[in-house]
């Protein structure tokens, strides 16, 4: 039986999990680093245990520290959120060995999908489509070159042990193959200790479409329809939506059924996401994420489900109450990731104290946030400030609602990507829904071209500065406002 859940994460997802547990009558303990004591999750958790210094290696990625913290608090289960240890089989196993329920699939499942080659093999067995390629052991130049011409150009050379875009080369024509191969092998050897590569057809006009699946405690596997996340920058998703705007119903049914088959074949448990690339009417398996996804709220809003509660129920060995035939997407939902970065300076991260925050609430608007006023955004962690999620009856209305919501959102103290998001949302190719994963590279290669200040903006800034100064000297003797006492001029 679960009475207390440890949260091995931070930020908005920690808040999301704590609230879900509390609503289910469960106690929570936040396992946090020294740098995260001034955050929303720290304030709302029933209990907090510091597991290490700011550096993620010593805290959020430290398996033993997390286990020790959970045991010290007397927790029965650990929710890993996403990122950090959420897809670490060793962590899942350590939980099991310490009689802590890991909220997620088995360590074996995490391992199976974590290895790119075994995952592809499983998908093939389940009858799913994989990107044509070569993953064999014969790494001789002659063989690789032969395989490459069979796959056809353009193709990708990928270091088998690579990740995060390193050890990856796109080859557009045969003449470039030799040098690209050498450089991928060299980078693989230098960065990951292995020169082994595999080859894959390069899909350069594809959409990123993924299917949310859920396998409950009684072995029933549901699909919760698709999401589209084609708007990506440096392989990082920026805008996500449910459901995909351009997928026809037959294809939708087909990929959803394929995703269910893959989950069944692997003996999956809990929430998972099967990612596909979709190009010219064909879809190809990309990878399976064995955890809750950052963009899970868009699925929740179109289906009226709570994925985190479903995860907890599954950990409690209870079935969910859904019926597949009742799960029907309604309306349209969009999520924007709000990053602390300078939209006018190529997205350089921005840090500082959040002097003021305003989230413009209204029906169909959801704000998943990990910070409150006066909290500090530090450079230790990912620069995501919040997720802004909207729902409306149609996609055009959801886009309109998102633009309005972002314009009404106020963040003082760190710069944000709000102006950039508004440009992306307003672009004709996003509006008509035909964007591919090359959307940002094609239309926004240098970020925002616009200037931050117009002449009027500068004049207004000067007027405000003067007014604030005047107000300050005028109000000093009766009731000084809080900022006067904090920021008063010397």
Residues 6+ away with beta carbon under 8 Å from 119: 112, 113, 285, 287, 288
CB of 422 to another protein, least distance (A): 9
Q: How far is CA 366 from CA 2, 311, 406, in A?
A: 29, 21, 12
Nearer to another protein, 173 or 455 (CB): 455
Nearer to another protein, 104 or 347 (CB): 347
Q: How far is CA 16 from CA 76, 302, 366, 391, in A?
A: 19, 18, 12, 18
The H-assigned helical ranges of 199-289 are 249-266
Nearer to another protein, 92 or 385 (CB): 385
Q: Which one from 16, 252, 291, 366 is the annotated catalytic residue?
A: 291
Q: What are phi and psi for residue 471, nearest 5 degrees? A: -55, -40
Q: How far is CA 283 from CA 211, 280, 394, in A?
A: 12, 8, 25
Nearer to another protein, 121 or 484 (CB): 484
Q: What are phi and psi for residue 277, nearest 5 degrees? A: -105, 140
Positions touching another protein (CB under 8 A) are 234, 236, 345-349, 351-353, 355-356, 358, 379, 381-383, 407-408, 410-413, 415-416, 418-419, 452-453, 456-461, 463-465, 467-468, 471, 481, 483, 487
CB of 275 to another protein, least distance (A): 20
CA distance 282 to 273: 19
Active site residue 291: yes
State both tokens at 359: 């989230």
Nearer to another protein, 46 or 382 (CB): 382
CB of 469 to another protein, least distance (A): 10
Q: Which of 64, 52, 56, 125 is nearest to 90 (CA)?
A: 64
Nearer to another protein, 68 or 376 (CB): 376
CB of 213 to another protein, least distance (A): 27
Please spell the DSSP secondary structure of 425-482, one letter per residue. HHSHHHHTT---TTHHHHH-TTS--S-S--HHHHHHHHHHHHHHHHHHHHHTTS---H
CB of 356 to another protein, least distance (A): 4
Residues 6+ away with beta carbon under 8 Å from 245: 228, 395, 433
CB of 419 to another protein, least distance (A): 7
* Residues belonging to the active site: 291
């Amino acid at each position: 039986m679960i009475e207390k859940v440890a949260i091995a994460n931070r930020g908005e997802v920690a808040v999301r999990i704590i609230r879900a547990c509390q609503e289910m009558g469960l106690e929570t303990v936040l396992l946090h680093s020294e740098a995260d004591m001034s955050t929303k999750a720290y304030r709302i958790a029933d209990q907090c245990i510091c597991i290490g210094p700011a550096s993620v290696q010593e805290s959020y990625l430290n398996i033993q520290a997390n286990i020790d913290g959970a045991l010290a608090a007397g927790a029965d289960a650990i929710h890993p959120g996403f990122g950090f240890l959420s897809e670490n089989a060793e962590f899942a196993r350590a939980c099991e060995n310490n009689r802590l329920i890991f909220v997620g699939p088995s360590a074996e499942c995490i391992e199976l999908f974590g290895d790119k080659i075994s995952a592809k093999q499983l998908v093939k067995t389940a009858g799913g489509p994989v990107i044509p390629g070569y993953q064999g052991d014969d790494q001789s130049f002659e063989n690789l070159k032969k395989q490459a011409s069979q796959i056809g150009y353009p193709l990708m050379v990928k270091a088998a042990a690579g990740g995060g875009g390193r050890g990856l080369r796109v080859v557009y024509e045969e003449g470039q193959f030799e040098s690209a191969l050498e450089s991928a092998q060299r980078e693989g050897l230098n960065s990951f200790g292995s020169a082994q590569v595999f080859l894959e057809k390069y899909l350069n006009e594809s959409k990123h479409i993924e299917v949310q699946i859920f396998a409950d405690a009684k072995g029933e596997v549901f699909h919760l329809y698709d999401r589209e996340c084609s708007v990506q920058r440096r392989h990082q998703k920026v805008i996500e939506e449910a459901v995909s705007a351009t997928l026809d119903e037959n294809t939708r049914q087909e990929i959803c059924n394929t995703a269910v088959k893959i989950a069944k074949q692997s003996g999956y448990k809990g929430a998972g996401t099967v990612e596909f690339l979709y190009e010219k009417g064909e879809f190809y398996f990309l990878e399976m994420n064995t955890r809750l996804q950052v963009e899970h709220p868009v699925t929740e809003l179109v289906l009226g489900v709570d994925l985190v509660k479903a995860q907890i129920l599954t950990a409690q060995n209870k079935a969910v109450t859904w019926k597949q035939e009742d799960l029907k997407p309604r309306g349209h939902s969009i999520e924007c990731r709000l990053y602390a970065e300078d939209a006018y300076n190529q997205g350089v991260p921005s840090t500082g104290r959040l002097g003021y925050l305003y989230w413009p609430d209204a029906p169909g608007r959801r704000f998943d946030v990990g910070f409150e006023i006066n909290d500090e955004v530090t450079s230790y962690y990912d620069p995501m400030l919040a997720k802004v999620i909207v729902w409306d009856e149609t996609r055009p209305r959801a886009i309109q609602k998102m633009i309005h919501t972002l314009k009404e959102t106020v963040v003082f103290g760190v710069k944000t990507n709000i102006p950039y998001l508004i440009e992306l949302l307003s672009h004709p190719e996003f509006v008509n829904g035909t964007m591919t994963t090359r959307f940002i590279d094609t239309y926004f290669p240098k970020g925002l071209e616009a200037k931050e200040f117009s002449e009027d903006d500068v004049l207004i800034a000067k007027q405000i500065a003067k007014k604030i100064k005047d107000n300050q000297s005028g109000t000093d003797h009766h009731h000084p406002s809080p900022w006067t006492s904090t920021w008063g001029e010397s």
